Amino acid sequence: MIRFEKVTKEYDEETVAVKDITFEIPSRELTVLIGPSGCGKTTTLKMINRIIRPTAGRILIDGSDVTEMDIRQLRRGIGYVIQNVGLFPHMTVKDNIATVPKLLKWERSKIDVRVEELLQLVGLEPKSYANKLPKELSGGEAQRVGVARALAADPPIILMDEPFGAVDPLTRVRLQDEFARIQEELHKTIVFVTHDIDEAIRLADKIAVMKGGRILQFDTPEEILARPVEKFVHDFMGSDRALKRLSRIPVLEYIEKSETIDINGGWEQLGVTKEEFVWALDDSKKLIGWVDVSHSSRELPLREALTEMLEEEILSPDSTMKEALSRMLESGTMALPVVERSGRFLGQISLSKIQELTKSVREEE
């Protein structure tokens, strides 16, 4: 746990960058510091690894005051990732990642194994990337190397200052997804600075909303979206808070049972039904597609009423309600199936369920 106790940072009389902040950053979770430019995010972050010293107050890591810790020991336990990465330009990807392990005098064979493992982890094929120079990498690839380098000596804490800020929006979302997956595996204590609210909602366990050197609200994304404490936080979260909240809700909780039909059987399986369509499964309960009940003649074989599913129309158990909505809007369908990785059909998510959910969200507000 990283604890800020009445921490203030004044650069000079006019510039009080951080004003008397007290809060606790939980271990093994990802905490986002968010707020407009100049609100004190970077200053707050840099006081943790003592790049900047507080003017007043204390910062404790698991009970130890950082100003009293040995600086090398402190920094060894903290990985640091910044925008535009700051890779050493004349060093290969491999040597960049190995920087800290080399300082720690790891054996060469151990370093080699570690570099390979990290490149795999961040989605770069070791064979083709290890010997490249930073200038041969795209922005997204360089950022992945930056993440690998911060993780190299397996520090328990990672500080990230707008790490994905300099890449294009598509790459950015991909990096966020990959990073979320890495964090799910590693459970580091991460302090992540951003001014992008969607990024915060996608990644954060906890969000600290900052303004003018103060923390206005520190809570889970769900809570901040549902109950912003003041107008600034409300406005900062944007007008589409109901939609943003959907991106924190997994479809798993809202799967509805729905009628299915075995595609190898016949129409008689259905009997009388009010459904306009039913999901079609094979013998092993795998989803094949859907059958149009209201517009098909039961004189014709069942298979002729079958429409197969496109991959992008299928949700997985870890999809969010926001994804479900986006895909419904794209495909113009009122319900989408949820299917396990194995192909097993779990049920459906319907547009009416999403409408119910956003309605209850709005009423709460």
CB of 16 to ligand ADP, least distance (A): 8
Q: Which of Mg ion, ligand ADP, none does residue 143 bind (CB under 5 to 8 Å by kind)?
A: none
| Separation of alpha carbons 279 and 260, rounded Å | 5
CB of 1 to ligand ADP, least distance (A): 22
CB of 164 to ligand ADP, least distance (A): 15
Q: Which of Mg ion, ligand ADP, none does residue 88 bind (CB under 5 to 8 Å by kind)?
A: none
Tell me the residue nearest to Mg ion as measured from the CB.
42
CB of 38 to ligand ADP, least distance (A): 4
CB of 136 to ligand ADP, least distance (A): 30
C-beta of 137 vs 200, nearer to ligand ADP: 200
C-beta of 100 vs 193, nearer to ligand ADP: 193
C-beta of 35 vs 337, nearer to ligand ADP: 35
3-state secondary structure the chain: CEEEEEEEEECCCCCEEEEEEEEEECCCCEEEEECCCCCCHHHHHHHHCCCCCCCEEEEEECCEEHHHCCHHHHHHCEEEEECCCCCCCCCCHHHHHCHHHHHCCCCHHHHHHHHHHHHHHCCCCHHHHCCCCHHHCCHHHHHHHHHHHHHCCCCCEEEEECCCCCCCHHHHHHHHHHHHHHHHHHCCEEEEEECCHHHHHHHCCEEEEEECCEEEEEECHHHHHHCCCCHHHHHHHCCCHHHHHHCCCEHHHHCECCCEEECCCCHHHCCCCCCCEEEEECCCCEEEEEEECCCCCCCCCHHHHEEECCHHHCECCCCEHHHHHHHHHHHCCCEEEEECCCCEEEEEEEHHHHHHHHHHHHHHC
Binding region for ligand ADP (CB under 6 A): 11, 15, 17, 35, 37-43
Binding region for Mg ion (CB under 5 A): 42
C-beta of 20 vs 262, nearer to ligand ADP: 20
C-beta of 54 vs 289, nearer to ligand ADP: 54
Query: Can you name the residues that pair with 291 across neighbouring β-strands?
Result: 278, 306
C-beta of 50 vs 132, nearer to ligand ADP: 50
CB of 162 to ligand ADP, least distance (A): 8
C-beta of 39 vs 98, nearer to ligand ADP: 39
CB of 47 to Mg ion, least distance (A): 13
